[in-house]
Amino acid sequence: MTPGIRPLVVGNWKMHLTASEAVVTVRSLLPRLGSPIDREVAVAPAFTALAAVGALLKGSAIQLAAQDLFWEDEGPYTGEVSGVMLQDAGVAYVLVAHSERRRHLEETDRMAGLKTKAALRCGLKPILCVGEDEAERAAGRAESVVRAQVMLGLETLEPQEAPRIQVAYEPVWAIGTGRAATAPQAAEMHALIRHELKNLFRNAAAGVRVLYGGSVTPDNIDELMRSPGVDGVLVGGASLRAVEFARIADFRAAT
């Protein structure tokens, strides 16, 4: 972990759990998570479950996150949800340009930049997702791909906005495959991201959290969180199971 940074654990439920199912999951999760003070924990349900989950999280130490937002605050954008709406619903964090949206919906780095700016404008804390796919890694392009995603996603922001930003490194080849990056691989890419953040924000870059995402499980969480520069995790499938996610949130980074 980066010294002086409070780690963040985010559960991304993706397109799973109806509102009623999400309520059952949160009711099982809350007593297991307790009230952590040395780390932050958030869950990102589907849009239809935000209200129900948000009501249950009120008064708890667990924060509400959303999986996406549009880059305009209002207007004729059928099917989209704005940062203003999310902030009004009690959302604190929002994912931006998750690899599944980049892949399936062709979201670009330009769109990622607009969404990150919109999140900050609306009082939300964006989690910009970056990462290379298997072909890009095999071709030796992992570093250049991630560097470009970071720069293009954040280049319009000011240094004073840096402490509200999170960057999640999620190697596409590790998402949902059970093949998490090794601790050295994660540390190497996190160091690259930190270097690019310093180019963008200078000293203010020290306040940006860099998370890891991609097949995070109770079995590998402790090793991942011991990796230099890993300031938290973005958890997919394991976050749908209360016992597993609670164990991940209760990571033990001390050696």
Q: Which domains does the chain have, with CATH numbers?
A: 8-249 (3.20.20.70)
Q: Which of 132, 161, 170, 244 is catalytic?
A: 170
The answer to which of 75-84, 176-185, 207-216 has the lowest mean pLDDT is 176-185
pLDDT value for 97: 98
Q: Provide the pLDDT confidence category of residue 254 given band limits of 50, 70 and 90.
A: low
Clarify whether 170 is annotated catalytic: yes
Q: What is the pLDDT of residues 148-187, one digit of tens each?
A: 999 999 999 999 999 999 999 999 887 777 787 888 888 8
pLDDT value for 105: 96
Q: Give the C-alpha distances (Å, rounded to integers) separating 226 from 18, 51, 122, 197.
A: 35, 35, 33, 21
Q: Provide the pLDDT confidence category of residue 92 given band limits of 50, 70 and 90.
A: very high
Q: What is the pTM of this model?
A: 0.96
Q: Which of 40, 98, 107, 132 is catalytic?
A: 98
Task: Assess whether pLDDT exceeds 80 at residue 218.
Answer: yes
Cβ-proximal residues to 189 (8 Å cutoff; 6+ apart), any chain: 142, 143, 146, 169, 171, 181
Task: Assess whether pLDDT exceeds 70 at residue 110.
Answer: yes
Work out the percent of the chain whose per-residue pLDDT is above 90: 87
Work out the percent of the chain whose per-residue pLDDT is above 70: 99
**Higher pLDDT, residue 51 or 4:** 51
Show the CA angle centred on residue 224, arms to residues 223 and 227, nearest 5°.
90
Tokens standing for 246?
Answer: 């609670």
Distance CA 142, CA 160 (A): 29
Helices vs strands, H then E, count in the chain? 10, 8
